[in-house]
Structure formats: structure tokens, C-alpha cells
């Protein structure tokens, strides 16, 4: 059995099983794929693949299905990870053009990824602790109300409304914002608590109560960006794959809902030379995900961020070629958009 044909047979079994969800027999392989050998030869090849633990016979079926080890060899041999098609890029452009802000853009990205892959799409919300303060502005909304706006190097725009103890002149309030920006510009978002007393020295005594409120508002913004969370879409896709899981779908849905398992998983996954991280079936350390595969890629701007990931969760009988292409392409596309903000 040649190495080349061995991989061809394995690839054909994976592709057919992903498409049909039925065990694959030798005659079907000959009919559907241009393998240029007889069914008897294919049966010998399949026997060898089974001996190597790459395929298995479910119950008494004459056909074979891939094992986790077989999927792993198949995935590792995928070298042609295609970019987004023109239609897919246009779909993403349209969705992102309609996004009102940074968070909406991330949510739209997850929805589109779920649509493209028919899997559960997950996005690890980027922590801001390595981002830096790019801009700060204080806008007077009324005599006793002001809006604090902070823009981070990650592209994140945050706003907080504050109530002022005394009416403040609009120009004076603007000056407070500008002086604080001079002190805080390019400061790491992880640098909390902020040196409040030092910052207050930069403004006039009569403006210090208002300035203190602004500084504490900025601290609140920076603290909120350090909370881990996940954006998710397409859970119904997993439910539609229920036949792949059986009773295992309950723990899987619970793991997705709780998010703690996914957050740890995405954080620990490491990309290969293709810019992708793939975990298959029993490669998972958490029992609730043993029937699933996860494909993920890192995204984020060139400056700031902490390697947050975008990915999909689905059955081990996943269309890996499509999922890997979509995940990597959208992660790169999203990174470019965030870098250009």
C-alpha cells in the first residue's frame, strides 16, 4: 500500500462520512472517487488503515468511519487553506458596514462565521490589559452631567456618563480632559489603579473634584476590559447535529453556556504554522467536549490585545476544510479591520 494512496483513501472516507454521516464502503469509494484501483485493493487499504487506528467499523457495518486519530492525520495534511471568496468577503463587508460600534462588529463577525460553517461560532472578547489609551475626551452634556470617552489602541471605544458635584464651564471641562489625556496617553490599560493624586496635580484646584470623577470613570472602563467573556452564535447548528452526539449533547450545551471551559480552552490552544489551532475529540482535556472538534485562530490589531481567538465548535464529523478556511480567513480579515481603526 503506497503512502499516497493510503492518504487518498483516508481523505475519501473522511469526505464521504462528513457528507453522508453513513459508514463508507470500498465500492462506494471506487464509485465516488477517482482512485483507479479495484474494490478489492481498496478493501486491503482500508484494512491497513483500520489496523493503524485511523478508521473503525461501527457495530456490524461493512463500512468504515474515521477515528479521532484519522481526523487528526487528515487535518494535519490540509495544506491548501483557502482565503475568503469574493462573495464571503462582500458578505462580511456588508455586515460590518452596518455595525454601529466595536462590539457590534465582533457580534456580526461571529454570526457570519456561524453562517459560513454551519457550526457554533465563538469569539474570545479581547482583553484590553495590553492595549493602550489612544484618546480621552470629556464632553459636557448638561450643567451637572458629562460624558467620558476613552479610545484604546485595540479599537475599543468606551463611554461613561458622570454626574458632576457642581456646574462646570464647558471649556474648563474640556481642558480637564485634555490635561488628563497628556498624562494618560499611551498608558497601558493594565495600569490600574491610576495614580489619582498625581493626575489631579495637573489641573487647577477648583476643577479637581470633576477631574477625580473623570479619572475614576477611566479606571472603571479599564477594569471592565479585563473581564473574560465570549461572544457566541449558531448554537442551533449544534442542536441540528444532535445525531452526532446522542446523550453527549447535554454536557456540550452546558459547557457552551457556562463559557468557563471554552475560555480556558481558547486561551490554551496554540496555533500551528498555518495560523490555526485544531483540537479533535479525545484530544480535549475536558470530558464535556470529547465528542467535539474546535478550530480556532488568533485575531487582533498589530498593537494591543492579548491573542484573543475566533473559532468554531462542532462534531468531530466536521467539514474541516471549510471550517479551517473560514476561521483563518475571518480572523485575518478582522485583524486588518481592527488594525486600521
User: CA-CA distance, 317 to 91, in Å (whole number)?
Assistant: 26
Q: Which three cell numbers stand for residue 24?
A: 463508507
Q: How far is CA 315 from each of CA 68, 155, 229, 282, 319, rounded to the nearest angstrom?
A: 11, 34, 23, 12, 9
Percent of the chain at pLDDT > 90 equals: 30
Max mean pLDDT range (18-32, 97-111, 232-246): 18-32
> pLDDT tens digits for 186-222?
877 666 677 778 878 888 888 888 888 888 888 887 7
Could you state, in order of their start, the residue ranges of all structural domains in the chain?
3-76, 86-127+228-340, 133-224
Domain boundaries 133-224, corresponding CATH code: 3.30.390.60
> pLDDT tens digits for 19-62?
988 899 888 888 888 777 888 888 899 999 999 999 998 876 67
Q: Are 123 and 305 in contact (CB under 8 A)?
A: no
Q: Indicate the CATH number of 86-127+228-340 among 3.40.1350.10, 3.90.650.10, 3.30.450.40, 1.10.10.10.
A: 3.30.450.40
Q: Are 56 and 65 in contact (CB under 8 A)?
A: yes
Q: Which three cell numbers stand for residue 231?
A: 461572544
**The CATH number of domain 3-76 is 3.40.50.2300:** no
| Closest residue by Cα to residue 54 from 12, 85, 20 | 12
* DSSP string computed for 143-176: TTEEEEEEEETTS-EEEEEEE-SS---HHHHHHH
* DSSP string computed for 195-240: -HHHHHTTS-GGGHHHHHHHHHHHHHHHHHTTS--EEEE-HHHHHH
| Closest residue by Cα to residue 306 from 108, 97, 156 | 156
Q: How confident is the model at residue 303 (pLDDT cuts 50, 70, 90)?
A: very low
Q: How confident is the model at residue 304 (pLDDT cuts 50, 70, 90)?
A: very low
Amino acid at each position: 500500500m503506497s503512502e499516497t494512496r493510503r492518504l487518498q483513501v483516508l481523505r475519501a472516507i473522511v469526505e464521504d462520512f462528513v457528507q453522508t454521516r453513513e459508514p463508507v464502503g470500498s465500492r462506494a469509494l471506487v464509485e465516488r472517487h477517482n482512485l483507479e484501483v479495484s474494490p478489492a485493493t481498496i478493501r486491503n487499504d482500508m484494512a491497513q488503515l483500520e489496523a493503524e487506528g485511523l478508521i473503525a467499523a461501527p457495530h456490524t457495518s461493512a463500512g468504515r468511519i474515521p477515528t479521532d486519530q484519522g481526523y487528526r492525520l487528515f487535518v494535519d495534511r490540509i495544506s491548501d487553506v483557502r482565503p475568503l471568496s469574493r462573495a464571503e468577503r462582500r458578505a462580511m463587508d456588508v455586515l460590518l458596514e452596518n455595525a454601529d460600534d466595536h462590539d457590534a462588529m465582533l457580534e456580526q463577525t461571529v454570526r457570519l462565521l456561524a453562517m459560513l460553517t454551519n457550526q457554533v461560532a465563538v469569539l474570545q472578547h479581547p482583553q484590553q490589559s495590553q492595549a493602550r489609551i489612544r484618546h480621552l475626551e470629556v464632553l459636557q452634556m448638561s450643567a451637572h452631567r458629562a460624558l467620558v470617552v476613552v479610545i484604546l489602541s485595540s479599537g475599543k471605544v468606551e463611554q461613561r456618563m458622570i454626574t458632576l458635584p457642581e456646574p462646570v464651564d464647558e471649556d474648563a471641562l474640556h481642558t480637564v480632559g485634555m490635561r488628563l489625556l497628556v498624562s494618560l496617553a499611551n498608558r497601558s490599560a493594565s495600569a490600574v489603579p491610576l495614580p489619582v493624586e498625581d493626575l489631579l496635580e495637573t489641573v487647577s484646584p477648583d476643577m479637581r473634584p470633576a477631574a477625580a470623577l473623570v479619572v475614576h470613570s477611566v479606571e472603571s472602563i479599564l477594569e471592565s476590559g479585563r473581564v473574560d467573556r465570549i461572544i457566541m452564535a449558531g448554537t442551533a447548528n449544534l442542536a441540528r447535529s444532535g445525531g452526532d452526539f446522542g446523550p453527549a449533547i447535554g454536557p456540550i450545551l452546558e459547557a457552551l453556556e457556562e463559557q468557563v471551559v471554552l475560555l480556558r480552552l481558547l486561551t490554551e490552544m496554540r496555533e500551528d504554522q498555518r495560523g490555526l489551532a485544531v483540537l479533535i475529540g479525545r484530544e480535549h482535556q475536558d470530558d464535556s467536549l470529547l465528542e467535539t472538534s474546535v478550530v480556532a485562530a488568533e485575531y487582533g490589531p498589530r498593537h494591543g490585545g492579548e491573542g484573543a481567538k475566533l473559532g468554531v465548535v462542532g462534531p468531530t464529523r466536521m467539514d474541516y476544510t471549510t471550517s479551517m478556511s473560514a476561521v483563518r480567513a475571518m480572523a485575518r480579515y478582522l485583524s486588518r479591520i481592527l488594525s486600521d481603526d
